Chains A and B, each alone.
Chain A
Amino acid sequence: MAPSLEAPDDEVRDVLANPLKKKPDLVAPEPEHCPGPESEQAGTADSCAGCPNQQICASAPKGPDPDLPLITARLADVKHKILVLSGKGGVGKSTLTVQLAHAFATNPDTTVGVMDTDICGPSIPKMLGVETETIHTSNAGWEPVWAMDNLAVMSIQFLLPNRDDAIIWRGPKKNGLIKQFLKDVQWGELDFLLVDTPPGTSDEHLSVNTFLKESKIEGAVVVTTPQEVALLDVRKEIDFCRKAGIRVLGIVENMSLFVCPGCKHESKIFLDHTGGGRGLAEELGIPFLGSVPLDPRIGIACDYGESFFDSFPDSSACKALKGVVKGLVEQIGLDPEVLLPEGDGSS
């Protein structure tokens, strides 16, 4: 058998306590093409023939995950669940998530939750300036970290003993944690739960979709940059949404223009010769929510965990972001006037 390079669970496990839905205790690692020990076909799929775990998986309780109703109950008071997706990494999923959260949270009557499902590269805590926080647990569950009075955050970063620790986890373990984020965290009454995701179309995405199916996902915002190398992966993500039955609320094109601070010359650094985000949106019949220019100050605001809306309310990037938020709010059938009263950013 292959030598395992997975990190011993050591400290992380102490914090994470016991896994929830008990995965059957396997006697050997999952084989290639394993349908997943928790899946419907566990023990009966073609690839299960000859697997030492077959009996174990086959006799494990089947049917819908018994935790699903618990998740649904926990999230009953969450009005809108929105995923932020992109097949491509580094296009600004977390940045957009954070900006959306800030934009919604400028209204003191709105409560926002942000859940970071990027297990291997959590960026949300840093961008919200709560990197050093840790989780408090009580009888009722895990208390999320409150970045503002009305902005709750949950990320694996809060569970790490050291900031730079690598999370060397395979899929099932990541799924377990995401489930805990949904089932054990006291989200309470939220108007919005924004779910930031890692790049790709794999375990995390499948899990979020499965776990939230019953409590209904409002839809997904897809982020891209203008160049074809990124659009290529984003197409795959939209294909995934279609397959999974997630409504795409719209496409946001990030890093579209760069305005030189010296001469105000506008450069398209990431060339959109195949039409960019707008072209893709038209091609696939999806609403286009807007283009956000590449403004170095957004990056700086994220590095320092500040709200870009508060720091540079008059910049063109800020206006573009507000346009995106407005478009998104309209897509989910709410009134932007009520939700985002003008003069926001002053809070």
Chain B
Amino acid sequence: MSLSKIKHIVLVLSGKGGVGKSSVTTQLALSLSLAGHSVGVLDVDLTGPSIPRMFAIEDAKVTQAPGGWLPITVHEADPTSGLGSLRVMSLGFLLPGRGDAVVWRGPKKTAMVRQFLSDVFWEELDYLLIDTPPGTSDEHISLAETLLQKARPDQVAGAVIVTTPQAVATADVRKELNFCTKTGIRILGVVENMCGFVCPNCSECTNIFGSGGGEVMADDFNVKFLGRVPIDQQFIVLVETGKRPRYPEGTVINGQDISAAAKEAEAEEAKRDTAQLVLKYKDCSLAPIFKTITADVVSAVEQGGA
């Protein structure tokens, strides 16, 4: 079966839309890859696939092979620099035009989710991250059902829940936590995204969507709080235009001066914009934050397996 060579399956869920499920999936994938794991990303958001855009591979098309559909390779493993391979599958690759609407009712979405789980030819993977649409409906029910049937219990590691701090978002995400409880999906932890924005002009941090809502929710449900992720304009620039993140001098995050790293990178001007996404991401201020989150997720996954 297509899932047989995968060690751990991690779902990225949120009841609310636009909180950053796809960005968190992307960054988890990049961080896991930087940590040397081989990673696959499966995008089951059928009516709004964002993952192809996030990895800047919108033009890619899926090819059919005897083993099933071949996922798109973002980059191959590079043992010398300790980089794991990264492959992606999304409905976006199957659509003829990028503006085409997929107007499907439930049963058809169910069929597609099932097909995505059974017909994609994944090679050996340490982690398969599944990015989901918002809600607790057809895609989620099908995903949970199909995983129950087709994956071994030790493969399904659990779910990372994404939220933003404001009460309107956590209200929906609480429903998603209840969904996980009802369907028996283990919760690996909660990520609070879009927490704080640092003004590039005066460096004042504004909590646009408030702060702390995710942590309170994690406490209420007695699940692990994985961390806060601020809004980083440079990450959006990276995704939108492919420019390597650059910060004003003296930007220090977690005790590391990240502007210095960017300077070094500037020396390789010629290489800059063509470099692999994963290498550019290393310069992003969010990379160290996600390194910690990823480490926590990995240890939670491994604890569960043991």
Q: List, in ascending order, chain A residues with CB within 8 A of B123's CB.
A: none
Interface pair A2/B48, CB less than 8 Å apart: no
Q: List, in ascending order, chain A residues with CB within 8 A of B183's CB.
A: 5, 168
CB distance from A156 to the nearest CB of B (A): 11
Q: Which of B116-157 contact A (CB under 8 A)?
A: 133-138, 140-141, 144-146, 148-149
B residues sitting closer than 8 Å to A (CB atoms) are 15-19, 22, 47-48, 50, 53-54, 98-111, 114, 133-138, 140-141, 144-146, 148-149, 164, 166-169, 171-172, 174-179, 182-183, 197, 199-202, 204, 206-210, 231, 233, 236-237, 239-241
Q: Which residue of B lies closest to A272 (CB)?
A: B240
Give the residue among B98, B133, B174, B175 with the most A Cβ atoms within 10 A: B175
Q: Which residue of A lies closest to B232 (CB)?
A: A269
Interface pair B50/A233, CB less than 8 Å apart: yes
Query: CB within 8 A of A202: which of B103, B111, B179, B239?
Result: B103
Give Cα A270 to B237, complex, Å: 8
Q: List, in ascending order, chain B residues with CB within 8 A of A274's CB.
A: 240
Decide yes or no whether A148 CB sits under 8 A from chain B: no
Decide yes or no whether A119 CB sits under 8 A from chain B: yes
Q: List, in ascending order, chain B residues with CB within 8 A of A174's CB.
A: 137
Give Cα A261 to B250, complex, Å: 22
A sample of 11 more A-B contacts (CB under 8 A), given A202-B109, A235-B99, is A3-B148, A34-B108, A87-B48, A121-B17, A200-B133, A202-B106, A225-B18, A236-B47, A236-B102, A262-B206, A302-B168
Interface pair A258/B197, CB less than 8 Å apart: yes
Q: List, in ascending order, chain A residues with CB within 8 A of B137's CB.
A: 119-120, 167-171, 174, 203
CB distance from B206 to the nearest CB of A (A): 6
Q: List, in ascending order, chain B residues with CB within 8 A of A202's CB.
A: 47, 103-106, 109, 138
Give Cα A122 to B135, complex, Å: 10
Q: Which residue of B lies closest to A198 (CB)?
A: B135
CB distance from A160 to the nearest CB of B (A): 9
Q: Which of A168-184 contact B (CB under 8 A)?
A: 168-172, 174
Decide yes or no whether A102 CB sits under 8 A from chain B: no
Query: CB within 8 A of A33: which of B111, B179, B204, B241?
Result: B111
Q: Given A166-B182, A168-B179, A233-B50, A198 and B134 touching (CB < 8 A)? A: yes
How many residues of A are in contact with the other chain, CB < 8 A? 79
Give Cα A228 to B231, complex, Å: 17
Q: Given A199-B134, A202-B47, A265-B201, A120 and B175 touching (CB < 8 A)? A: yes
Give Cα A164 to B217, complex, Å: 11
The stretch among A54-62, A88-96, A315-323, A326-334 that forms the contact with chain B is A88-96
Interface pair A271/B233, CB less than 8 Å apart: yes
Q: List, in ascending order, chain A residues with CB within 8 A of B114's CB.
A: 32
Q: Which residue of B lies closest to A131 (CB)?
A: B171
Contact with B along A29-45 (1 / 0, CB 8 A): 01111101000000000
CB distance from B167 to the nearest CB of A (A): 4
28 contacts between A and B (CB under 8 A): A3-B149, A32-B114, A34-B108, A36-B105, A90-B169, A121-B16, A122-B172, A127-B168, A164-B174, A166-B178, A199-B17, A199-B133, A202-B138, A203-B137, A225-B18, A232-B53, A233-B47, A235-B99, A239-B101, A243-B103, A258-B197, A258-B206, A261-B204, A263-B202, A265-B200, A269-B236, A299-B166, A299-B209
Decide yes or no whether A123 CB sits under 8 A from chain B: yes
Give Cα A287 to B200, complex, Å: 33
CB distance from B194 to the nearest CB of A (A): 9
Q: Which residue of A lies closest to B180 (CB)?
A: A166
Contact with B along A114-148 (1 / 0, CB 8 A): 00000111110011000100000000000000000
Interface pair B134/A120, CB less than 8 Å apart: yes
Give Cα A168 to B16, complex, Å: 14
CB distance from B155 to the nearest CB of A (A): 17
Contact with B along A178-208 (1 / 0, CB 8 A): 0000000000000000000011111101100
Q: List, in ascending order, chain A residues with CB within 8 A of B98's CB.
A: 232, 235
Decide yes or no whether A28 CB sits under 8 A from chain B: no
Interface pair A5/B175, CB less than 8 Å apart: no
Decide yes or no whether A22 CB sits under 8 A from chain B: no
Interface of A is mostly: loop
Interface pair A260/B202, CB less than 8 Å apart: yes
Q: List, in ascending order, chain A residues with CB within 8 A of B231's CB.
A: 269
Query: CB within 8 A of A5: which of B107, B135, B141, B210?
Result: B141
Q: Which residue of A lies closest to B137 (CB)?
A: A120
Interface pair A262/B204, CB less than 8 Å apart: yes
Q: Given A4-B145, A121-B16, A227 and B236 touching (CB < 8 A)? A: yes
Q: List, in ascending order, chain A residues with CB within 8 A of B108's CB.
A: 32-34
Interface pair A171/B204, CB less than 8 Å apart: no
Q: Given A34-B107, A91-B18, A236-B100, A227 and B204 touching (CB < 8 A)? A: no
Q: List, in ascending order, chain B residues with CB within 8 A of A33's CB.
A: 107-108, 111
Interface pair A303/B134, CB less than 8 Å apart: no
Give Cα A120 to B173, complex, Å: 10
Q: Which residue of B lies closest to A2 (CB)?
A: B145
Q: List, in ascending order, chain A residues with CB within 8 A of B111's CB.
A: 32-33
Q: List, in ascending order, chain B residues with CB within 8 A of A300's CB.
A: 166, 210
Q: Which residue of A lies closest to B201 (CB)?
A: A265
Give Cα A263 to B237, complex, Å: 22
Q: List, in ascending order, chain A residues with CB within 8 A of B141's CB.
A: 5-6, 168, 170
Q: Which residue of A lies closest to B58 (CB)?
A: A232
CB distance from A238 to the nearest CB of B (A): 8
